[in-house]
Structure 1
Amino acid sequence: MQKKWWHDKIAYQIYPKSFYDADGDGIGDLRGIINKLDYLQELGVDILWLSPIFCSPLADQGYDISDYYNIDPRFGTMDDMEELIARAREKNMYILMDLVVNHCSDEHIWFKEALKDPDGRYGKYFYIEEGKDGKPPCNWRSYFGGSAWEIIPGTDKYYFHAFHKKQPDLNWENPEVRQEIYKMINWWLNKGLGGFRIDAIINIKKVLPFKDYKPDREDGMVSIKTMLKEAEGIGEFLSEMKRETFEKYDAFTVGEVFDAKEEEMPLFFGEDGYFSSIFEFGPALIGKSANGWYDCQEVTTKEYKATCFRSQEKADKVGFMSNIIENHDEPRGVNEFISEEDLSETSKKLLAAIYFLQKGIPFIYQGQELGMENTVFHSIEEVDDISTKDEYQIALDAGCSKEEALRIVSKYSRDNARTPFQWNDGINAGFSEGKSWLPLNPNYPSINAKEQMGREDSVFHFYRKLIELRKEEEYKEVLVYGKFVPVLPEKENFMAYLRKGQEKTILVAANFQRECAAIKLPVRCKKILLNNYEDVKREGSTVIFDGYQVVVMEVEQLAELVKQ
């Protein structure tokens, strides 16, 4: 595999609105990120991905962009952005921006012009179609619920939006649209960006002409995902985008790609893939239901382990996945993958190690390094997220009581990850001098950066040690490029794997339960590298694991594993 500058890097996602507010208006901003670069450097991260900071009416928290060439005044100015890029580079950090080009905002000048003349030049920048007998052109349901079509007032024409009605889809079939997008991408790369996280990109290719599918709910509509399974030819668009933009700058790109077919994975992130990497969403999809959040099932250790092992097997010899346990679109990972009664700093450290040391690019979402948890909702009125509100109604329609519906959506709400970062136990958790745009998680007095940075056995310092281990010269080759080999995969409530390099082999082993477990390992320990307890109890090749203990060790392989 050709080595790239980003292979050994650690990425960190910043949700700017909730990271740090430097001007006291209750909204995080670019100046706040600049002020906290030292914190990020101390943690040890290299790549900073910023969720959208472009001009936007915030119908979907910035993923509805009204001007790709300007910073929303809520977040600062272009001077702030240029300073952030420069200051980050001084600290050997790279800035990624969110590339949102499946759709724009209905307040973008292109769409405003399209509404004036749906049949004109800018009307062709979007999908605008005649209705059928007073109904939308087809029965596709938007990701946020309801029809994916919105009527243009005063006409019988509709425009298509896969997401919110204020997010009209851009027509990638139009070459002029593509060239405008490439021009914008290169404009930003010229400013010194390290690359992009590419949002919802799988949606840019539609099955045309638009047609109905068999409904999958009583509303008579069907999930857009049904159409995406039939869509073909996206590679032409993605290859062209790479050739016209990313390739020229050796930019790091990570795609938000759901439902990629296994045989297509090399096309997306292989040696000459469309992107440098794609996110591994397998664990986030465990237990999810097409019917809605009310029908989701609890994640089990067995399913989590099997999903991780399958993902690693699929990615083997293809390229580098970007591994996560949470992001701005998911609830907090510690609540998703650890049962409430077992949630502790010990189990949070286990989860950190078991995902972080798999092959791929580790991504940390802001606050994850503190073990931040889901927040508490007392009513649906406290919710900001549009998808949560939609799922609340879906739960009610399915027969849930208001109390049940609130409990359900509270578990899966995107707002869980969007509560302000918990810097200290002071006013507003040190996030802002003003009232925060979203209520703080009430547990900030006990979970915050200041307390954890001052305590060596904290979750924060455990993440630091994971980062230091992955960057340590002696182990960098094996932890970055080493082969992933499952160990004792059938063992209940136990998850372990080897990272096998040219000269070193490392074992990551975790007891995924509160009870102690004696595990006979098929390897010999040479050196303990990391452990979330004070010591490791060993009797020959048997390790006595305490509850939720994770151990990382350099090992000598026994014969039965050497041949794998």
Structure 2
Amino acid sequence: MKKKWWHDKVAYQIYPKSFMDTNGDGIGDLRGIINKLDYLKDLGVDIIWLSPIYCSPFVDQGYDISDYYNIDPRFGTMEDMDELLAEAKKRNMYVLMDLVVNHCSDKHEWFQKALQDPDGEYGQYFYIREGKGDQPPCNWRSYFGGSAWERIPGTNKYYLHMFAKEQPDLNWENEKLRNEIYKMINWWLDKGLAGFRIDAIINIKKDLRFEDFPPDREDGLCSPGKMLEHAKGIGVFLKEMRDKTFRKYDAFTVAELFNYKEDELRDYIGEDGYFSSIFDFSTHLIGASEKGWFDRKPVTPNEYRDVIFRSKIETENIGFMSNIIENHDEPRGVSYYIPEGECNEKSKKMLATLQLMLKGIPFIYQGQEIGMTNNEFESIDEIDDISTKDEYLVALKAGYSPEEALKIVSKYSRDNARTPFHWDTSQNAGFTTGKPWLVVNKNYKDINVESQINDENSVLSYYKKLICLRKDEEYKETIVYGKFSPVYEEYDNILAFYRKGEDKTLLIIANYQDKKVELPLLHQNSKVLINNYDRLNVENETIILEPYQTVVLDV
């Protein structure tokens, strides 16, 4: 594998709105990020990904962009952005922005012009079609519920929106539109960005027949995934984008990609792939149901192991996945992957070890490094997230009471990850002096940076140890490039694997359960590099692991 500058890096996702507020308006800002760069450097972070900070009406938290060339005043100014890039560079850190080009905001100048003349030049920047009688052109459902088509007032024409109706999809079939997008990408790369996280990119290719599919819910609509199964030829767009933008700058790109086929992986992240990496969402899809969140099944340790191992084996000789426990679109990983009542410092450290020791680029999400958990929302009125509100209605329609529906959506809500960051025990967790835009998690006095930063046994200190090991000259080559090889697979609730390099072999063992387990000792005189307990018990050729005990051994 040709070595690239980003292979050995540790990345960190910042959700700017909830990270650090410096002007008391209750919304995090760029100045707050600049002020916390040393905290991130001390953690061991190399790459920072900023969720959207462009101008936006914030219908979908900035993923509805009204101006790609400007910073939303809520976050600061372009001068602040330039300063952030300069300060990051001083610390040998790299900055990524979100690239959201499947859709824009309905307030974007292009769409406003399209509404004025749906058949004109800017109408061609979007998918605008005649309705069928008084019905939309076809029965596709948007990701946020309801029809993916919205009627243009005063006409029988509809525009396509795979997400919210305020997020019209951009027509990638239009070369002029594509070139506008490439011009914008290059403008940011010229400014000093190291690359992009690329949002919802699989959706840019549509099934241009715009036909009905069999409905999969009582609303008579079909899942957007059904359309994607029939959309062919996305590679033409992705190759063109890569060659006209990213490749010229040796930029790092990581794509949000759910609906790819196994045999396409090499096209996406191989030596000549469209992207540097894609997120490994394999664990996030466990237990999902087309019916809605109310029908989701809890994650089991064996399922978690099996999907991760399958993913690593599939990509072993192809390229780098980006490993995540959580992000801004997921609940908190420790609340989601660890059974109720078993979420504690030991189990949090177990998940961290797996993420940082697996092959791939680790993306830590803000607050993950201190073990932030799901919030207990007391009312649907505390929820801001558009998809959570939709799933709440889906649960009510399925016969659940308001209390039951709230409990269901609270477990899976994206707002769990969007509650403000916990810096200290002061009011609002030190995030803001004003009224936070979203409720602060009630447990911030127990879980925060201030109480962990000088505690060598804290979750934060444990993350630092893991990152130090990844960067250790003696082990770096093995952890970054070493071959992945599963072991102990016949044991329930055990996740264990080798990372085999040219000079070193590491064995990682995780006891993913709340009870002790005994395993046969495979190697004598192993050196313990990481352990989330004080000691490792070895008796009579047997390793005895405590509940959620996790070790990294040099064998």
How does the TM-score come out when normalised to structure 1?
0.98
User: Cα offset for 1:341?
Assistant: 1.1
2:394 corresponds to which residue? 394
1:325 corresponds to which residue? 325
User: Cα offset for 1:540?
Assistant: 5.4
Deviation digits for residues 222-244 of structure 1 (CA, Å, limit 9, x no counterpart): 01100101111000000000000
Deviation digits for residues 403-460 of structure 1 (CA, Å, limit 9, x no counterpart): 1111100000000000000000001100001010001000000000010102110000
Tell whether the 8 Å contact from 1:482 to 1:499 is kept in structure 2 after alignment. yes
User: Cα offset for 1:524?
Assistant: 3.4
| Unaligned residue ranges in structure 2 (runs of 5+) | none
1:66 corresponds to which residue? 66
Q: Secondary structure at the match of 2:543?
A: strand
| Pair 1:45-2:45 in alignment | yes
Q: Secondary structure at the match of 1:474?
A: coil
- Compared CA separation, residues 23 and 131, structure 1 to 2 (3 A): same
Q: Secondary structure at the match of 1:326?
A: coil
1:131 corresponds to which residue? 131
1:157 corresponds to which residue? 157
Q: Secondary structure at the match of 2:253?
A: strand
Q: Secondary structure at the match of 2:69?
A: strand
Report runs of 4+ in structure 1 exceeding 4 Å deviation.
Answer: none
Deviation digits for residues 472-492 of structure 1 (CA, Å, limit 9, x no counterpart): 000000000000000111201
Letter in 2 for 1:270: G
Matches within 5 A, 1:279-290: 279-290=279-290
1:201 corresponds to which residue? 201
1:430 corresponds to which residue? 430
Distance of 1:127 and 1:137 partners within structure 2: 11
1:219 corresponds to which residue? 219
Letter in 2 for 1:484: F
Matches within 5 A, 1:289-438: 289-438=289-438
User: Cα offset for 1:516?
Assistant: 1.3
Distance of 2:374 and 2:40 partners within structure 1: 22
User: Cα offset for 1:514?
Assistant: 1.7
Q: Secondary structure at the match of 1:529?
A: strand
User: Cα offset for 1:356?
Assistant: 1.7
User: Cα offset for 1:538?
Assistant: 1.2
Q: Secondary structure at the match of 1:291?
A: coil
Tell whether the 8 Å contact from 2:24 to 2:433 is kept in structure 1 after alignment. yes
User: Cα offset for 1:523?
Assistant: 3.1
Letter in 1 for 2:405: A
2:460 corresponds to which residue? 460
Distance of 2:73 and 2:523 partners within structure 1: 57
Tell whether the 8 Å contact from 1:96 to 1:193 is kept in structure 2 after alignment. yes
| Unaligned residue ranges in structure 1 (runs of 5+) | 556-564
Distance of 1:344 and 1:505 partners within structure 2: 30
Tell whether the 8 Å contact from 1:104 to 1:168 is kept in structure 2 after alignment. yes
1:512 corresponds to which residue? 512
| Pair 1:253-2:253 in alignment | yes
1:558 corresponds to which residue? none
Deviates more, 1:350-359 or 1:517-526: 517-526
Distance of 2:241 and 2:22 partners within structure 1: 36
Deviation digits for residues 488-541 of structure 1 (CA, Å, limit 9, x no counterpart): 112012110000011100011011112111111333343110000111111254
Distance of 1:53 and 1:45 partners within structure 2: 20
| Pair 1:538-2:535 in alignment | no
Q: Secondary structure at the match of 2:526?
A: strand
Q: Secondary structure at the match of 1:473?
A: coil
User: Cα offset for 1:209?
Assistant: 2.1
Deviation digits for residues 542-561 of structure 1 (CA, Å, limit 9, x no counterpart): 21111110000100xxxxxx
Distance of 1:67 and 1:485 partners within structure 2: 47
Q: Secondary structure at the match of 1:140?
A: coil
Tell whether the 8 Å contact from 1:9 to 1:47 is kept in structure 2 after alignment. yes
Distance of 2:169 and 2:268 partners within structure 1: 22
Instruction: State the identity as a percent.
Output: 65
Tell whether the 8 Å contact from 2:424 to 2:430 is kept in structure 1 after alignment. yes
Distance of 2:127 and 2:231 partners within structure 1: 16
Deviates more, 1:438-447 or 1:349-358: 349-358
Tell whether the 8 Å contact from 1:523 to 1:541 is kept in structure 2 after alignment. no
1:271 corresponds to which residue? 271
Tell whether the 8 Å contact from 2:356 to 2:470 is kept in structure 1 after alignment. no
Distance of 1:78 and 1:145 partners within structure 2: 35
Deviation digits for residues 290-334 of structure 1 (CA, Å, limit 9, x no counterpart): 110000000000100001101101111010000001000000000
Q: Secondary structure at the match of 1:170?
A: coil
Tell whether the 8 Å contact from 1:136 to 1:149 is kept in structure 2 after alignment. yes
Distance of 2:355 and 2:455 partners within structure 1: 23
Distance of 1:258 and 1:375 partners within structure 2: 26
Distance of 1:209 and 1:287 partners within structure 2: 32
User: Cα offset for 1:339?
Assistant: 1.0
1:2 corresponds to which residue? 2
Q: Secondary structure at the match of 2:475?
A: helix
Distance of 2:260 and 2:496 partners within structure 1: 27
User: Cα offset for 1:110?
Assistant: 0.2
Q: Secondary structure at the match of 1:524?
A: coil
Distance of 2:274 and 2:490 partners within structure 1: 36
1:172 corresponds to which residue? 172
Tell whether the 8 Å contact from 2:326 to 2:332 is kept in structure 1 after alignment. yes
Tell whether the 8 Å contact from 1:103 to 1:169 is kept in structure 2 after alignment. yes
Letter in 2 for 1:384: D
Letter in 2 for 1:474: E
Letter in 2 for 1:267: D
Letter in 2 for 1:206: K
Distance of 1:398 and 1:351 partners within structure 2: 34
How does the TM-score come out when normalised to structure 2?
0.99
Q: Secondary structure at the match of 1:113?
A: helix
Deviates more, 1:96-105 or 1:506-515: 506-515
Tell whether the 8 Å contact from 2:182 to 2:244 is kept in structure 1 after alignment. yes
Tell whether the 8 Å contact from 1:293 to 1:409 is kept in structure 2 after alignment. yes
Letter in 1 for 2:77: T
Tell whether the 8 Å contact from 2:425 to 2:444 is kept in structure 1 after alignment. yes
Tell whether the 8 Å contact from 2:162 to 2:169 is kept in structure 1 after alignment. yes
Q: Secondary structure at the match of 1:417?
A: helix
Distance of 2:394 and 2:203 partners within structure 1: 24
Tell whether the 8 Å contact from 1:200 to 1:256 is kept in structure 2 after alignment. yes
Q: Secondary structure at the match of 2:372?
A: coil
Matches within 5 A, 1:474-493: 474-493=474-493
How many residues align? The count is 555
1:102 corresponds to which residue? 102
Deviation digits for residues 39-93 of structure 1 (CA, Å, limit 9, x no counterpart): 0011010000000000000000000000000000000000000110110011010
Tell whether the 8 Å contact from 1:525 to 1:553 is kept in structure 2 after alignment. no
Distance of 1:290 and 1:481 partners within structure 2: 37
Distance of 1:523 and 1:134 partners within structure 2: 71
User: Cα offset for 1:340?
Assistant: 1.8
2:552 corresponds to which residue? 552
